[in-house]
Amino acid sequence: MHRSSVRPNEYTFVSTLHACSFAESVDLICAFQVYALVIRLGFGSNMYLVNAFLTALIRHGMLGEAIQAFEGCLNKDIVSWNAMFDGFLKYSCDDIPGFWQRMSSEGIKPDEFTFATVLTGLAELSNLEIGLQAHALLVKSGHDHYVCMVNLLGRAGRIKEAEELILGMPFKPSVLIWQTLLGASRLHGDVETAKRAAGHAFAIDENDPSTYVLLSNTFAEFENWSSAGTLRKWIENRDIKKMPGSSWLEVNQDHSFKRMG
């Protein structure tokens, strides 16, 4: 097309940059060449093209180059910010808090993707203070990401607050939310909260094997044999089906646990 002197338009560039996102890393040179042509032909302020280029860089792990491209853009939109948050989540969670505060100070309104990505990254860092600020803004804006917030509180060891948050939700919690609390309880050795979370999860879906796996692993890790025996009877009474690819592991000849793998 270029050799035929046919002038490409923005749709041509978007398609080409999108293709570069999924190409082999050696072909990423093409993305730089295409973007150079984008600038030369006067499309540098087109955010569809800028964001497509950012996405291509991030998909190939070129976070430093993506940051440079982002900083050079004068008309950043929410898609640009989200692309960077996605990159930080994959390669550099440590940059998320500062970037979130910068976004807030510049008056950029986050969307659902922003909240999900930021809260997940903050959970990885156990950055509770900024996470609570983000969640407050999330609630104010009408978005719902309770799972992320429970994960954030749980990883920070604030299990009681995570449980209270679930119990105070304005709608019925999902199995996933209770499983998130269960996982956090296991992380911090809170077996009693783990049992309560599992009870709520089974009350919603008593045949969900994931809840059993999480709870049985908790008992196995903390050698709670009496609870393990109760759990086994509990599961047998509910006729929970064995998950494909899992196996039974006999422990002390008296108790059975499901082991994934």
pLDDT digit string, tens, across residues 128-175? 788 777 777 766 665 567 887 888 888 778 899 999 999 998 889 888
Dihedral sign from CA coordinates of 186, 176, 169, 107: positive
The pLDDT, as a whole number, for residue 165 is: 92
Identity of residue 40: R
Name the residue with higher pLDDT: 194 or 176: 194
143: its two tokens: 């978005």
Distance in angstroms between the alpha carbons of the first and the last residue of the chain: 52
* Cβ neighbours of 176 (radius 10 Å): 15
The pLDDT, as a whole number, for residue 260 is: 31
The pLDDT, as a whole number, for residue 24 is: 61
CA dist 23 and 3 (Å) reads: 22
CA dist 178 and 201 (Å) reads: 6
The pLDDT, as a whole number, for residue 43 is: 60
Name the residue with higher pLDDT: 68 or 233: 68
Identity of residue 72: G
- Sequence-distant (6+) residues with CB within 8 A of 83 are 51, 54, 55, 58, 66, 70
Query: Domain residue spans in the chain?
Result: 1-76, 84-143, 159-261
| Residue 48 and residue 81 in contact, taking contact as beta carbons nearer than 8 Å | no
CA dist 120 and 131 (Å) reads: 9
Listed residue (89, 147, 146) closest to 114, CA to CA? 89
The 3-state secondary structure of 168-186 reads CCCCCCCHHHHHHHHHHHH
CATH code assigned to 159-261 = 1.25.40
The pLDDT, as a whole number, for residue 237 is: 62
pLDDT digit string, tens, across residues 189-232? 898 999 899 999 989 988 777 787 778 777 767 765 565 566 66
214: its two tokens: 């999480």
The pLDDT, as a whole number, for residue 170 is: 86
The stretch 246-261 carries a mean pLDDT of: 32
Dihedral sign from CA coordinates of 30, 34, 40, 46: negative
Write phi, then psi, for 111 (nearest 5 degrees).
-115, -170
Mean pLDDT of the chain, nearest integer: 74
The pLDDT, as a whole number, for residue 163 is: 96
pLDDT digit string, tens, across residues 90-133? 898 899 999 999 998 999 988 767 887 888 888 788 777 887 77
Helices and strands (DSSP H and E) totals, the chain: 14, 2
Listed residue (6, 1, 88, 80) closest to 48, CA to CA? 80
The pLDDT, as a whole number, for residue 113 is: 73
pLDDT digit string, tens, across residues 18-61? 666 555 654 666 666 666 666 666 665 677 778 888 888 888 78
